[in-house]
């Protein structure tokens, strides 16, 4: 599946084949309308070629017709746009299921490709739901998407741990990652063991990048664990690299760096080297300050 700003594409994308394409939009229906009453079970959102059948007064379009990817992204709290994305996903899964049962059979590689795309796009879709749609077993889907699930789990765990280190409450973290407070508590209880594992690997001389890869955790989190409890000068020494001129604070206020440290933020046109932020924090804040 491919969610574009204007079109939604789904179906196999093999050599010589073309995916199905519908508009990336959804129409929120008036449940009291005649069309809704005669079309059977009520649907909150209509997608695909049925939308024109449900359109009503022109003045309603601005509130009922939603294009979720109009701006290229879907905001986390935009519930109507996410409802359209969910319905488009369901539509594509149902189409794949019908195709597997009655139409041209999807090849095994096509099904695997579809399963991985669904898992990437909508982590909330269960393996069983994907399996039912593609006509395979849940165990087969699990083998196709296990690496994606592991990465998503590691990414969520990293967010939980980082927010906990920043002082967020368990309730606040739960709202941010859509988990209960009890689930957050259970995951945070594993943090001391994770810290111990990271430090064990580092004490053995394992590079931070390798330790993070082995434990399937976020690299930023691995660095946070390594630097936790150290004073600022120790942090410069441990984190800094000579090639980025950040192994110690600069002695002068002319902070010129030949190269930006790629570990300190994404590269964008006009951005400043992250090493400048390191020096600003060292000279103009006290350790433990909330910035």
- Considering the domain architecture, whether residues 163 and 236 belong to the same structural domain is answered as no
Q: Which of 95, 23, 33, 30 is nearest to 66 (CA)?
A: 23
Domain end residue (candidates: 201, 228, 255): 228
- Considering the domain architecture, whether residues 158 and 223 belong to the same structural domain is answered as yes
Q: Could you report the average pLDDT of every consecutive run of 10 residues in the chain (291 residues)? A: 77 62 80 57 73 65 78 80 86 72 66 85 82 84 88 80 85 87 90 85 89 82 87 91 87 82 82 89 87 78
Domain end residue (candidates: 228, 251, 275): 228
Structural domain harbouring 218: 153-228
pTM of the entire structure? Answer: 0.48
Residue 68's pLDDT is what? 82
196 domain residue, yes or no:
yes
How is 126-176 classified by DSSP, letter by letter?
Answer: -HHHHHHHHTS-HHHHHHHHHHHHHHHHHHHHHHHHHHHHTT--HHHHHHH
29 - beta bridge partners? Answer: none
Q: What is the DSSP letter of 207?
A: -
209 domain residue, yes or no:
yes
- Considering the domain architecture, whether residues 236 and 223 belong to the same structural domain is answered as no
Residue 171's pLDDT is what? 92
Residue 16's pLDDT is what? 55
What backbone phi and psi angles, to 5 degrees, belong to 33?
-70, 160
Give the C-alpha separation, 118 to 141, whole Å: 11
Query: Please, are residues 239 and 223 in contact by the beta-carbon 8 Å criterion?
Result: yes
Domain end residue (candidates: 200, 228, 256): 228
Q: Which of 130, 155, 132 is nearest to 144 (CA)?
A: 130
Residue 187's pLDDT is what? 87
23 - beta bridge partners? Answer: 7
Q: Which of 189, 161, 190, 160 is nearest to 177 (CA)?
A: 160
Residue 32's pLDDT is what? 65
For the packed helices 138-165 and 191-203, what is the interaxial angle rounded to 10 degrees? 90
Q: Which of 51, 53, 128, 143 is nearest to 97 (CA)?
A: 128
117 domain residue, yes or no:
no
Domain count, the chain: 3
Residue found under tokens 């988990």 = 179
51 domain residue, yes or no:
yes
Query: Please, are residues 172 and 198 in contact by the beta-carbon 8 Å criterion?
Result: no
175 domain residue, yes or no:
yes
Angle among Cα 163, 264, 241 to the nearest 5 degrees reads 120
Residue found under tokens 């002082």 = 167
- Considering the domain architecture, whether residues 78 and 171 belong to the same structural domain is answered as no
Q: Which two tokens stand for residue 44?
A: 């909150």
- Considering the domain architecture, whether residues 218 and 273 belong to the same structural domain is answered as no
CATH number, domain of 62, equals 3.30.420.40
């Amino acid at each position: 599946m491919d969610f574009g700003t204007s079109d939604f594409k789904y179906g196999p994308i093999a050599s010589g084949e073309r995916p199905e394409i519908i508009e990336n939009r959804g129409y929120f229906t008036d449940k009291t309308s005649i069309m809704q009453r005669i079309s059977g079970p009520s649907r909150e959102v209509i997608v695909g070629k049925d939308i024109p059948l449900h359109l009503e007064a022109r003045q309603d379009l601005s509130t009922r017709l939603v294009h979720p990817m109009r701006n290229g992204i879907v905001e986390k709290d935009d519930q109507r746009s996410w409802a359209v994305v969910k319905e488009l996903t369901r539509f594509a899964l149902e189409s794949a299921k019908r195709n597997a049962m009655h139409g041209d059979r999807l090849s095994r590689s096509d099904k695997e490709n579809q399963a991985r795309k669904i898992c990437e796009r909508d982590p909330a879709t269960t393996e069983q739901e994907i399996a039912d749609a593609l006509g395979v077993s849940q165990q087969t889907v699990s083998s196709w998407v296990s690496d994606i699930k592991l990465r998503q789990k590691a990414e969520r765990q990293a967010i939980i741990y980082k927010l906990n280190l920043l002082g967020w409450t368990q309730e606040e973290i739960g709202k941010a990652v859509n988990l209960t407070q009890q689930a957050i508590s259970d995951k945070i209880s594993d943090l001391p063991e994770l810290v111990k594992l990271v430090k064990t690997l580092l004490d053995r001389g394992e590079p931070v990048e390798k330790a993070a890869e082995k434990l399937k955790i976020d690299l930023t989190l691995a660095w946070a664990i390594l630097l936790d409890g150290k004073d600022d000068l120790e942090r410069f020494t441990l984190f800094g690299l000579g090639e980025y001129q950040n192994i110690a604070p600069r002695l002068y206020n002319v902070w010129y760096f030949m190269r930006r440290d790629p570990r300190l933020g994404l590269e964008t046109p006009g951005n400043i080297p992250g090493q400048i932020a390191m020096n600003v924090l060292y000279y103009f804040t006290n350790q433990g300050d909330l910035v």
